[in-house]
Structure 1
């Protein structure tokens, strides 16, 4: 639905509420609502517009209680609130809610964190806070939450990107910092300072870097990070800048000793201005943050590295991983599909880019040479695949 005049929203809400009251919505049945706003391109819209949408949604929420009590999935966007407790109020009113997506939401107070304090009987299993105009999200209590995507756009030194209270079921976390301005991308965060869960609780961690040239995660010594990543089984690093040396990520392997799967995806859009942007920082981590010489990872079984161009750039990092992971089963260097007309057009104008992509048939010699660079002289039974 479009978040339009309240009278229109109320008529629809009351229909859903009446269906729930009379039993036409079966117990446990899925009821999904997606609310979009009337305007597009609101990134630089006046605060009054965003607060107006937030006030309209709050009126709808409170005016149609039966409808919202029946919801199992809710997605909203571009809502700003004056009350920092607005999201907590939402999850308390939506008693059956299992999946909540908040995109580009925030508060009138620019330093207010987004607090979520669900009741003990809450069924909320998935919470997505995407591109939100907040410095952080505080999970005060979310007893059934399994998956949490935290995407924030503001930085405040005294507010962590995420904080965790009562979240005993949480297993999967995605962290995504999207600063409004590229100059803000220098802000670094140590995972050990805010990703504080029960030991060995977290199983899947995704770190998203958007198309920024800088890595917002600061390297740190394994002994500090190990309590955070000790139970991690899957690590995903997505949208890493194509010119970045992947060796910066080795400090994560040293801490995540139970890791089984490592997936790395390189930012592929050559049509973006960020593609040719010069890296203006040195991401070489301090030697104390790297695994010590002779370190062996005994749980890592599969590594996947995907990029659209210059796949051979990853050979050095891949070789290091093959040497380190003594029980590795498979390493895949894959070529991403464009999925973008702009990138296809750029490749057609730049033959050197086309030569950097492996294609079958006809790329056999290049592939064999790359596999040899990764495996040559290393004692391993791992299968090395180039797609």
Structure 2
């Protein structure tokens, strides 16, 4: 009797999350059959015990399911009915893929997106603040030459696209030309191709490339007038020669404000160049982060970025290498770049310099002397220690604590040397 009275309750829920992992089945196909049965029942207008005249709005619909050609179209049609007749605020797909046949799954997915356009236009996810945004993350897929462009155009409300461990069926360049799309963020993680070319992506605000296995430069930016944020992370391999940032970035990105380069404690994979080649691109750059610089690296080469960015306010250098960091046998050789900084230039706007994880006292002291000489508007220098690392399980905690105290004492000595030698009104903080 109790179960009969409650039979209508699932049909009144406004937030639904169905996960294929919660359904029994001897095979993935049988499991998907069970998943589909539950989905049809829960997405139906009403149950036999419910009042069919009552209104129901599904605000949130999250579906986690297997990539199954037998069920994809049925899922798309069912979801399309929901988003067409409801004020759905959040629609999320989490599709589990096998790493075996990327090409077959890629074709299935593209067919799915073409046949369910209304559904894909409504895909959303949650950002870090809990707000909904149209987002899609794909892993382990092989795409045809124009598939990525076609996908972005088909999902015309898409805000954020992440492609992880994907590749092209034929090894060539990924060329994305979507001048009318609203895509704002593109993230490529270990994407196998020759290079990534963004021909025209008018609304793009953020691009991230992580661990590219191909030659440099990893991305070539065309017409991206709204671009604000560029982030590149890679542990350089032996076949990846350093490249010039002017070959990668675009002069159309007049609003670029943040640049993050992470070298993974390996070779510095950008090549210093005359600041005049970057000034147009960097004229509104305010924040620069150069992360995971290898310990032996001379730091004076970084000054060409400061000189090319007249509006720069904050400049951060991180070393932060831990014992758990291993070097691949295919890594590029670490070489020291010793360019002569241009003479007689001054930076008027830079206010904050942060250095973290650097231990060589003389190297840090000499670099800070040069920096204070050039950045005449500098207000504060922060000298920070290493961030703790959860992966260093084998590290002796007592030894690590002692080392931390030694490093902090070293930072205090650097501060004393600079304070006694300099008459500049720069506040030096030990963190």
RMSD (Å), alpha carbons = 2.9
Scaled by the length of structure 1, the TM-score of the pair is 0.82
Alpha-carbon contact 2:224-2:253 (below 8 Å) kept = no
Per the alignment, residue 304 of structure 1 pairs with 354
In 2 relative to 1, CA 286–23 (structure 1 residues): closer, same or farther, beyond 3 Å?
same
Q: State yes or no: 1:386 paired with 2:430.
A: yes
Per the alignment, residue 44 of structure 1 pairs with none
Deviation at 1:281, TM superposition (A): 4.3
Alpha-carbon contact 1:146-1:170 (below 8 Å) kept = yes
Scaled by the length of structure 2, the TM-score of the pair is 0.74
Deviation at 1:146, TM superposition (A): 1.0
How do 1:167-316 and structure 2 match up within 5 A?
A: 167-179=224-236, 182-185=237-240, 187-198=241-252, 200-211=254-265, 213-274=266-327, 280-287=333-340, 290-292=341-343, 294-307=344-357, 310=359, 312=361, 314-316=364-366
Per the alignment, residue 45 of structure 1 pairs with none
Per the alignment, residue 174 of structure 2 pairs with 114
- With 264-273 and 217-226 compared, the bigger mean Cα shift is at 264-273
Q: State yes or no: 1:149 paired with 2:208.
A: yes
CA distance in 2 between counterparts of 1:34 and 1:246 reads 43
How do 1:342-357 and structure 2 match up within 5 A?
A: 343-348=392-397, 351=399, 354-357=401-404
CA distance in 2 between counterparts of 1:115 and 1:279 reads 27
Q: How many residues align?
A: 357
CA distance in 2 between counterparts of 1:347 and 1:127 reads 41
In 2 relative to 1, CA 199–366 (structure 1 residues): closer, same or farther, beyond 3 Å?
closer
Deviation at 1:116, TM superposition (A): 1.7
Deviation at 1:365, TM superposition (A): 5.2
Higher CA-based Rg: 2
Deviation at 1:108, TM superposition (A): 2.1
CA distance in 2 between counterparts of 1:35 and 1:243 reads 44
**Residues 306-340 of structure 1, C-alpha deviations (whole Å, 9 max, x = no match):** 22x73745333233222321111221111233232
CA distance in 2 between counterparts of 1:367 and 1:253 reads 23
Alpha-carbon contact 1:139-1:166 (below 8 Å) kept = yes
CA distance in 1 between counterparts of 2:332 and 2:168 reads 33
Task: Note the residue ranges of structure 1 that are not aligned, 5 or more in a row.
Answer: 40-47
CA distance in 1 between counterparts of 2:75 and 2:420 reads 66
CA distance in 2 between counterparts of 1:34 and 1:195 reads 33
CA distance in 1 between counterparts of 2:320 and 2:121 reads 41
CA distance in 2 between counterparts of 1:345 and 1:152 reads 26
CA distance in 2 between counterparts of 1:119 and 1:272 reads 41
Comparing both chains, which one has the higher relative contact order based on Cα–Cα distances under 8 Å and sequence gaps of 6 or more?
A: 1
- With 258-267 and 314-323 compared, the bigger mean Cα shift is at 314-323
CA distance in 1 between counterparts of 2:233 and 2:387 reads 23
